[in-house]
Amino acid sequence: MSELLDKLCQNRRLDRAEWRKLLASRHILDQTGLFHRAAAERRRWYGEEIYVRGLIECGNICKNNCLYCGIRRDNHHVARYRLDRDTILDCCEKGYGWGFRTFVLQGGEDPGLTPDWVAETVEAIKARWPDCAVTLSLGEFDREEYQLWFDAGADRYLLRHETAHPAHYAKLHPPELTLAHRMDCLYTLKDIGYQVGAGFMVGSPGQSMDTLTEDFCFLQDFQPHMVGLGPFIPQKDTPFAKEPAGTLEDTLILLALVRLTLPKVLLPATTALGTIHPQGRELGILAGANVVMPNLSPPDTREKYTLYDNKLCTGDEAAEHLAGLRKRLAAIGCTVAVHRGDFPDKR
């Protein structure tokens, strides 16, 4: 297997059969060696700096019914909310004071969020904090809307592809949501000029060697600037309530393989990873991740953005505890960057 890893490190791509073979044997790989190689690659591009993003969960109203997601339309146990612009600006103000230079506005696909409102909110953030980047993660829209928001100043867009295998996509989503449309959105975002994030959950129901092979083939072809990759965690009021969560081991291995495929990629150690293991984020960084996204939402709304059960939103996950995160990162030899933290080619 080490020949396949060598080949991946040399060419930054494998063919389908090679990916299948590597992924099939991922649990018998020398994990210490794999994580060292991935962390060395991270250091080559980012040194010991970890990039932080202030995550503002701007609303949990969603017209979609993704089977895995706790804020899906049919979950009637969710107390729905939408932040107003002043509240979002207050979050940014606090975050700026703490050292955040990227704000991520993430939320459900809320029909009540008009394209103009989003554009004006982006403009307001960029006008007050011109040295900051704005990342949007609001779901699937038409080119017109993505262009409007880019012209308003949005820099990045996170839209996990969720799975690059059409039948698997259909298992995770209702029929009105298609992989083809998700992919169209990703290519459109890239074409407009955003730094684009794709990604998927590790251990989502139905994930297999075949689906993971498609994910890695897609990632090496699409060349996203960011990859969001964290464990699937069941949420009790969804159809997948009884499904097992993705594992720490699998998530770390796949993070390392993403780093080796896309050496410069912006790769978060996700909240979900921190949720399944108390040292999840540090372990993620040691396996090649270079970004963390502490929660900058108003504390009283955090519990309503329940994508999955027991989601971390306090302690060092909270943006106001950046000092705690700094300490934890210092313990693994890393520092927190106080700048926008762009993809290396876009600086």
How many whole angstroms separate alpha carbon 104 and alpha carbon 149?
13
How many whole angstroms separate alpha carbon 257 and alpha carbon 220?
11
* Beta-sheet strands, E only, within the chain: 49-52, 54-59, 102-107, 133-137, 156-158, 195-202, 226-231, 291-292, 335-337
Residue 194 touching ligand SAM (CB under 6 A): no
The token duo for 329 is 């990162």
How many whole angstroms separate alpha carbon 299 and alpha carbon 287?
30
Helix, strand, coil shares of the chain, percent, nearest 5, are 45, 15, 40
Residue 139 touching ligand SAM (CB under 6 A): yes
Residue 233 touching ligand SAM (CB under 6 A): yes
Q: Whole-number minimum distance, CB 137 to ligand SAM, in Å?
A: 5
Q: Whole-number minimum distance, CB 130 to ligand SAM, in Å?
A: 26
Long-range contact pairs involving 170-173 (C-beta distance under 8 Å, separation at least 24): 171/67, 171/205, 171/206, 172/66, 172/67, 172/68, 172/204, 172/205, 172/206, 173/64, 173/65, 173/66, 173/67
Q: Which of 41, 49, 109, 317 binds ligand SAM (CB under 6 A)?
A: 109
Residue 141 touching ligand SAM (CB under 6 A): no
The nearer residue to ligand SAM, 69 or 257, going by C-beta atoms, is 69
Per CB under 6 A, the segment of 81-89, 118-126, 232-240, 323-331 that binds ligand SAM is: 232-240
Fill in the amino acid letter for 50.
I
The token duo for 133 is 């980047």
Q: Which of 54, 59, 95, 108 binds ligand SAM (CB under 6 A)?
A: 108
Q: Which of residues 160-179 bind ligand SAM (CB under 6 A)?
A: 160, 162
Residue 149 touching ligand SAM (CB under 6 A): no
Distances 101 to 220, 270, 295 between C-alpha atoms, Å: 29, 18, 14
Site string for ligand SAM, 292-331 (x = CB under 6 A): ---------------xx-----------------------
Q: Which of 195, 211, 235, 251 binds ligand SAM (CB under 6 A)?
A: 235
Residue 68 touching ligand SAM (CB under 6 A): yes
Q: Whole-number minimum distance, CB 272 to ligand SAM, in Å?
A: 5
Residue 188 touching ligand SAM (CB under 6 A): no
Give contact residues for ligand SAM (rule: CB under 6 A).
Answer: 68-69, 71, 106, 108-109, 137-139, 159-160, 162, 201, 230, 232-233, 235, 272, 307-308
